[in-house]
Structure 1
């Protein structure tokens, strides 16, 4: 059993967002710690699909952040990803 009575955090400390509208997943890609890494295989595959549907060609050497931005843009253009 773990003893949780010895904490160094104050009673008012919280984790996570206090604002109901705040979504940590919506952080600007330019602020991502790993944003400069090459795009993931999933991003590459989805971008390929979106670009074909949009009739566009997208460079294959995008970073994770660039790929995310392009995915958002192409989702708007193609109507994908909308609820």
Structure 2
């Protein structure tokens, strides 16, 4: 077996060929999207809410998918996106 063959066999099929379509999913399609948001999401969302001068945007009961969507929206409002 050549080095090239060994590398090809060990490649991750989700990243092989440079196709990002398997790696980037809409949050509404996440299998864990209905779980509570992570601590990192909560912290970032709170920071962005303050930067966007929209403290009402932070809701501690959001799930992962909702938090991700809110983060994307606030990043744009805060000039980070």
**How does the TM-score come out when normalised to structure 2?**
0.71
Residue 45 (structure 1) aligned with residue 43 (structure 2): yes
Distance in 1 between residues matched to 2:26 and 2:73, nearest whole Å: 14
State the 1:23 CA deviation.
6.0
| Pairing of 1:33-72 with structure 2 (within 5 A) | 33-56=31-54, 57=56, 58-72=58-72
Aligned to 1:22, what secondary structure does the other structure show?
helix
Segments of 5+ residues of structure 1 without an aligned counterpart are: 1-13
- Number of aligned residues: 68
CA RMSD of aligned residues (A): 2.1
| Pairing of 1:3-14 with structure 2 (within 5 A) | none
Is the 2:14–2:22 contact (alpha carbons within 8 Å) kept by the matching residues of 1? no
Segments of 5+ residues of structure 2 without an aligned counterpart are: 1-11
More helix by share: 2
State the 1:60 CA deviation.
1.1
